[in-house]
Structure 1
Amino acid sequence: MSLGKCNVRLATLVERLAATLWIALILALASIGVCHAHATLVMSNPSANSILDDYPQQFSLEFSEPVSSIFFSLVEPDGTIQNLESIEAAGNMVTLHAPDIRQRGTHALNWRVVSADGHPIGGSIVYSIGAPTAAIHPEGPKTDSEVRDLIWLARLLIYAGCFFGVGGIFFFNWMETDHHDKRDPVLLAVLLPGLAAAAFSIPLQGLDVLSLPIGTFSKNSAWNAGFATTYGTSALFAGSAICLALFAHLFKIRVRLLSAIALIAVGLAFGSSGHAVTAAPQWLMRSAVIIHVMSAAFWAGSLYPLAKLFATGCASAPSVLRRFSRTVLFAVIPMLVAGVVLAFVQLGRVDALWLTDYGRVLVGKSLLVGVVLICAAVNRVIFTSPAVRGDLVAGRNLRTTTHAEILLILGILAVVGLWRFTPPPRTVMAEPVAAAEVHIHTEKVMVDLSLTPKRIGAMTAQMSVTTGDFAALHEKEVTLVMSHPTLGIASLKRRAVKIGEGLWRVENLNVPFPGDWLIRLDVLVSDFDLVKLQATVHIGSKVAPS
C-alpha cells in the first residue's frame, strides 16, 4: 500500500473518531442531571436547626465570597410567607431586619443571592422559637429546567461565535487577505446566532437569578436582574466583539484593527465574570483567563479558514499554512500554560478531579483537548510539509483532519458550558469546618448534638443536655450510639465525657461511610431512669460533591 493511501486512511480515521466522540458527548450531555452553583453559605445567625428563647431582631448570613442580595422570605409556623425588604449586603455578609412576628414554633428563612462570579445560589435556614413544632419543608427558589437548558445553549452559541467567528475573521485579516469573501456564509452562520444569544442570554441570566419560569422572559425585571450581575458585563463584551467582527467582515473598513479589537474583547468577555476571575490573586486569574481564551480563539478560528483555502484550491494556501505553522505554537503554548494554572487554582486538590462535578467536567474537557492536540500533531508532522510543497493529496488530508478538529473543539465548548452550573472545588473546600447539628426534644429531656466536621472520618461529638424546659437535668451519664441500617452497620457506641454542667463530648468518633446515620442518645438521668432519644443526621463525603 502506498504512503499516500495510508495518509488518506489516517485522515479519514481521525475524522470518524471525532464524529464518534461527538456522538458520545451528546449522549453524555443528555444524561447529566442538575448541578448547582456557586458561592457557599458559611455561617448564619440564627444557625440551622437552632432553638431560640426569644424572637431575633435581625438575621445575618456569611458566604464564602462576596454576594449581592436578591430575594429573602420568612415562612412562619402557620405557613404564612413574608417577603423581607430591609436588606444590607456588604462583601461576604448579608444582614436583614427581622419582621415583627410573635408566632412561636418552627420558622424557615428562604434566601437567594448572586455570587461574585455572577451565578445565583439559594437555600433555606430552619430554626425554632421556644420549641420545634410541625416540621417545615421549605422549597427554596430553584432554576427552571427550561431556563437552565437555554442558558447552556446560549453559552454554546456565544462560544461558537467568539471562537470560530471572531477568531476566523482575525485569521483571515491577519494571516490571509486575498481570499477573504465579503460575506462568508459559514462565518455569518456562527456570528449572527452568537450575537443573538449574547443578547438573549442576559434575560435568561435574570430569570435564573430571580428563579422565574421561561414564560416571564420578556419582563423588564428579568433584563434588569441579568444586567445587574457581572455576567451582564461579560455578555456586553461578547456582543461587542461579535459586532466588531461582523462590521469588519461585511464592510472591509480597518479590518485588521477591528478584528484585533474584537479578539481582545473576546478575552475581556470571559475575564469579566465566572468562577476563575473571583479566585485569588485576581490579577493572575483574570490574566490567565484572558490569555487562555484569546489563544484558544486564535487557534480555533484558524481551522475553518485553513480548510476553506485548501478546499477551494487557493494558490496562497501553502504560504498561509507555512505562516500559520510558524505562529500557532505562540498561541497553543500560552493557552495550555494558562489552562494548567486555572485548573490548579480551581481544583485545590487532585481527588477533586473525580469527586466533584467541576473536576469531572475538567476531565472531559482535557480528554477532548488531548485528542485535538493529537489531530494537530498529525497535521503538523505528516501533512503540513507536503501540503506546503503543493501536494494536493496532503492538502485534502489536512482539510479532513482539520474538520475533525473543528468538531472536537465544538465538543469542548459544549462541555465548558456545563461549568456554568458547577461550583469549583476551591469554593467547597475553602469553607470553614461545618458541623452537623441535631436538636432532639422530649417532655423530659432536651439535647443539642453537634458533629464536627460533618463528613466521614474522625469527628467530635458534643452534646448539651437540659430538661424539656431548659433547666439543668443533672444527668449521670450520656452514651452516643450511631448506626447505618442500610449498610448493615449495627452500632458505633461511645460513652461521652462530661466537660461541664450539662455538656458532654466524644472525641475521635470515626464515621467510615457517608449518608444518613441513625443517632441514639442514652441519657442516664438516675440509676433507675434511662431516657433514649433518636434522630437522623446526614454525614457527607470527604469532598462535598458539586
Structure 2
Amino acid sequence: MTVDRRRAAAALAGLLFGLVCALLGPAAPASAHAALVASDPGNGTIVPDAPNKITLTFSESVQLISGKIQVLAPDSTRADQGEPQSSGSTVTIPLRSGGGRGTYLVSYRVVSADSHPVAGSITYSVGAASTPPSEQAGAESVDPVVRALIPVGKYLGYAGLVLLVGPVLVLALLWPHRLSRVGPARLVWTGLGLVLGSTVLAIWLQAPYTTGTGLFGASLTDLQDVLGSTFGAVMLVRLGVVIASAFLLRPLLRGSGGESKADLALLGVLGVGALATWPLTGHPTASPVAGVSVVVDAIHLASMSVWLGGLVMLAGFLLRNANERELGAILPIWSRWAATAVAALIVAGSVQALIEVASFKGLYDSTYGRLILVKIALAAVVIGVAAYSRKLVRNRSAETGPRTLRRVVLAELAVTAVVLGVTAALVQIPPPRTAAAAETATTTTTVTQTVADANVSLQVDVFPATVGNNSLHLYAYTLDNKPLPVVEWTATAALPAKGIEPIEVPLLRITDFHAVGDIALPAAGDWTFKFTVRTSDIDQSTLTMTVKIA
C-alpha cells in the first residue's frame, strides 16, 4: 500500500469511527427535551367535581400531534371532547360534562420546541380514587431503527456542510487559476448531495419519530403534519436555499470566470441562510436566550465548516498539486483563516455549553455534560495539531514541508470526524437545563392525604408543601365516598419538634363539603394538622394527620 493510500485509509478510518460514535451516542432511549412542569388538575390529586378541561404546562413551547392526546374515564371510555388547543407551553384539553367518580388517565404526546417528541401520562380522581384505566396511548417509545437513523442523518448533514462550505470558500478566494477544478467540484457536489439527502431523510424520519411508529409506519397525513410544522417549514427553507445555491455554484465550479461578485455575494447570503436552519430545529430554539443561542450555534457551525472544509481542500488537492510559490501565497492566508475559525469555535462552544449545561455539576452529572467534556478533550487535541501545522506553515521546507503538513492535516481531519460524531449524538440528548426543569416539576407537587374515622372521610390537599405560604383544600365525604355536608370547619397546624404551638388556619367554606384556607408555615419538618368537622348540632369529628414540609 502506498503512503498516500495509507493516509487516505487513516482518514477514512477516522470518519468511520466518528460515524460509529454518532450511532452509539444515543444508544439509550431518546429522552424528551421538554418537561411537564404542571397540570390542572394536578397529577395524583383528587378533586370534588369533574372539571370541564385539563391544562398541561411544559417547560418550553410545544406543538400538538394529531390524535395523540386523550383522556380516559374510569370505565376506559373517552372523556375528552373536541380538539386540544396549544398556546406556547400550555395545552388545554376540553372534557365532556358530567364525568363520573373515580380515577382518570390523561395520556399525551407532543413535539417540543427543539423538534423532539414528549410523551407521558398523569392521573387525577374525581370524588375518590379508583383503579386507573390501563390504556396509555400517548406513551409510545421511539422506534429503535428511527432512533439510530436520526443521528446518522445529522452526521451526514454535518459532513455535507464541511464538503460544501469550506471548499467553495477556497475555490472562490484561494484556488490557483492553473489548477483543475474537477476534483474540488466533485467534492462540492458530494457535499451538496449529502445536505439535500440528509434534509429529505430528516423530514421522512420526523414523522415516525413524533408519532412513535416504525420506520415505514407513518401515514401520508403524518408526513403532511410534519411539513406543516415549524420543523417542516425550516427543512423546506433549507431545501430551497441549497437548490438555489446549486445554480449559482456552477460557474465557480467550472472555473469559466462567469461568476460575478454579485453572484458570489448572493451565494454568501444563501449560505448564511442555510446554516441558520440547523439551530432553528435544535436545542437553541428552546434555550432561555433563544436569540443568542441561535446566532452562537450558527457561528459554531460556520466556523467548523470553514475550518474542516479548508483542511479537506489542503489535504486532498492543494498540498499535492500546488507548487511552492502558490503554497507560499495560500498557506499564510489559510493559517489566519484557521486561527480565526478555531477562536470562533472555542468562544461559540463555550457560550453554548454555559447556556445548555447551566451548572458545573451538569458537566459531570449528565450524559450531555460528559459528551461536552469528551468534545472539549478532542477539540484540545485538534487545536494542538492545528498549532503544529501553523508552525509548519511558518517554517516549511520545499522538500518535507508539504508532505509533513499533509500528514498533520489528515490527523486533524481524523480527530474532527470523531468530534462530528459526538456533535451528532449531542443533539439527540436532553441538556441538563431540561432535566433541572423536570426535577423542579417533580418536587413542587400537591400533598394529598385522606384521614377518616367512623363518621367522616376527609381529603386534605396541601400546596406546595414547602416553607412559606401554603394553601389547604378540605373535602368531606361519607365512608361510601359521597359528599358530606359540613356545618362548621376548624383547623390548626403545629410543629412540636421545633416548639411551634398550634397555629389556627382560617377556613373559607366554598361548598357544603369543601373548604379552603391559607397558612404561612415558617419552618421545615413534620407538621401536625388537626381538623374538626361538625356535621350537625351533635355530630362532629376530630381528625389528625402529619405532613412533611420541605
Normalised TM-score (structure 2): 0.75
Partner of 2:292: 284
Mapped contact 1:126–1:136 kept (Cα < 8 A)? no
Deviation at 1:54, TM superposition (A): 1.6
Counterpart selection for 1:110 from 107, 110, 117: 107
- The question of 1:63 aligning with 2:58 is answered yes
Mapped contact 2:75–2:133 kept (Cα < 8 A)? no
Pick closer, same or farther for the CA change 1:305–1:497 going to 2, 3 Å. farther
Q: For residues 290 and 233 of structure 1, what CA distance do their matches in structure 2 show?
A: 18
Unaligned runs of 5+ in 2: 508-514, 533-540
Partner of 1:411: 418
Counterpart selection for 1:508 from 524, 528, 537: 524
Mapped contact 2:74–2:103 kept (Cα < 8 A)? yes
Q: Percentage identity across aligned positions?
A: 23
Q: For residues 492 and 525 of structure 2, what CA distance do their matches in structure 1 show?
A: 21
2:295 match: secondary structure: helix
Deviation at 1:65, TM superposition (A): 2.4
Q: Could you say what the CA RMSD is over the residues aligned between the two structures, in angstroms?
A: 4.3
Q: Which aligned pairs between 1:62-461 and structure 2 lie closer than 5 A?
A: 62-70=57-65, 71-81=68-78, 85-100=82-97, 102-136=99-133, 138=136, 140-178=139-177, 179=179, 181-182=181-182, 184=184, 185-217=186-218, 219-240=219-240, 242-243=242-243, 246-247=246-247, 248=249, 254=259, 256-257=264-265, 259-310=267-318, 312-315=320-323, 316-381=326-391, 383-387=392-396, 389-391=397-399, 393-429=400-436, 434-437=443-446, 439=448, 444=453, 448=460
Q: Which has the larger radius of gyration?
A: 2
Tell me the amino acid that sits aligned with residue 73 of structure 1: Q
Mapped contact 1:372–1:405 kept (Cα < 8 A)? yes
Mapped contact 1:49–1:438 kept (Cα < 8 A)? no
Tell me the amino acid that sits aligned with residue 337 of structure 1: V
Tell me the amino acid that sits aligned with residue 43 of structure 2: A
2:182 match: secondary structure: coil
Pick closer, same or farther for the CA change 1:83–1:365 going to 2, 3 Å. farther
Q: For residues 102 and 49 of structure 1, what CA distance do their matches in structure 2 show?
A: 17
Mapped contact 1:234–1:268 kept (Cα < 8 A)? no
Mapped contact 1:166–1:241 kept (Cα < 8 A)? no
Pick closer, same or farther for the CA change 1:115–1:161 going to 2, 3 Å. same
CA offset digits 1:30-57 (Å, max 9, x no partner): 6831231222222211110111222111
Pick closer, same or farther for the CA change 1:258–1:407 going to 2, 3 Å. farther
Partner of 1:488: none
More moved, 59-68 vs 500-509: 500-509
1:421 match: secondary structure: coil
Mapped contact 1:306–1:317 kept (Cα < 8 A)? no
Q: For residues 476 and 494 of structure 2, what CA distance do their matches in structure 1 show?
A: 14
Deviation at 1:236, TM superposition (A): 3.3
Q: For residues 20 and 191 of structure 1, what CA distance do their matches in structure 2 show?
A: 18
Mapped contact 2:311–2:409 kept (Cα < 8 A)? yes
Q: For residues 23 and 153 of structure 1, what CA distance do their matches in structure 2 show?
A: 10
Q: For residues 451 and 361 of structure 1, what CA distance do their matches in structure 2 show?
A: 38
Q: For residues 26 and 355 of structure 2, what CA distance do their matches in structure 1 show?
A: 28
Q: For residues 121 and 502 of structure 2, what CA distance do their matches in structure 1 show?
A: 34
Pick closer, same or farther for the CA change 1:468–1:475 going to 2, 3 Å. farther
CA offset digits 1:149-182 (Å, max 9, x no partner): 1111111111111123332222232221533523
Q: For residues 347 and 57 of structure 2, what CA distance do their matches in structure 1 show?
A: 35
Mapped contact 1:117–1:275 kept (Cα < 8 A)? yes
Pick closer, same or farther for the CA change 1:497–1:212 going to 2, 3 Å. farther
Q: For residues 81 and 144 of structure 2, what CA distance do their matches in structure 1 show?
A: 26
Counterpart selection for 2:46 from 35, 48, 51: 51
CA offset digits 1:224-261 (Å, max 9, x no partner): 22223333244334434544565425555637446534
Deviation at 1:446, TM superposition (A): 5.3
Tell me the amino acid that sits aligned with residue 398 of structure 1: L
Pick closer, same or farther for the CA change 1:222–1:368 going to 2, 3 Å. farther
Tell me the amino acid that sits aligned with residue 105 of structure 1: G
Tell me the amino acid that sits aligned with residue 268 of structure 2: A
1:74 match: secondary structure: strand
How many residues are matched? 496
Q: For residues 232 and 26 of structure 2, what CA distance do their matches in structure 1 show?
A: 30
Mapped contact 1:440–1:534 kept (Cα < 8 A)? no
Tell me the amino acid that sits aligned with residue 89 of structure 1: S
Tell me the amino acid that sits aligned with residue 110 of structure 1: S
Pick closer, same or farther for the CA change 1:30–1:422 going to 2, 3 Å. closer
Tell me the amino acid that sits aligned with residue 380 of structure 1: R
Q: For residues 327 and 317 of structure 2, what CA distance do their matches in structure 1 show?
A: 5
Pick closer, same or farther for the CA change 1:360–1:509 going to 2, 3 Å. farther
2:405 match: secondary structure: helix
More moved, 99-108 vs 295-304: 99-108
More moved, 41-50 vs 268-277: 268-277
Pick closer, same or farther for the CA change 1:28–1:87 going to 2, 3 Å. closer
Unaligned runs of 5+ in 1: 1-7, 481-491, 511-520, 540-546
CA offset digits 1:321-372 (Å, max 9, x no partner): 2220122222222232222222222222211112233322322222221221
Q: For residues 353 and 288 of structure 2, what CA distance do their matches in structure 1 show?
A: 13
Normalised TM-score (structure 1): 0.76
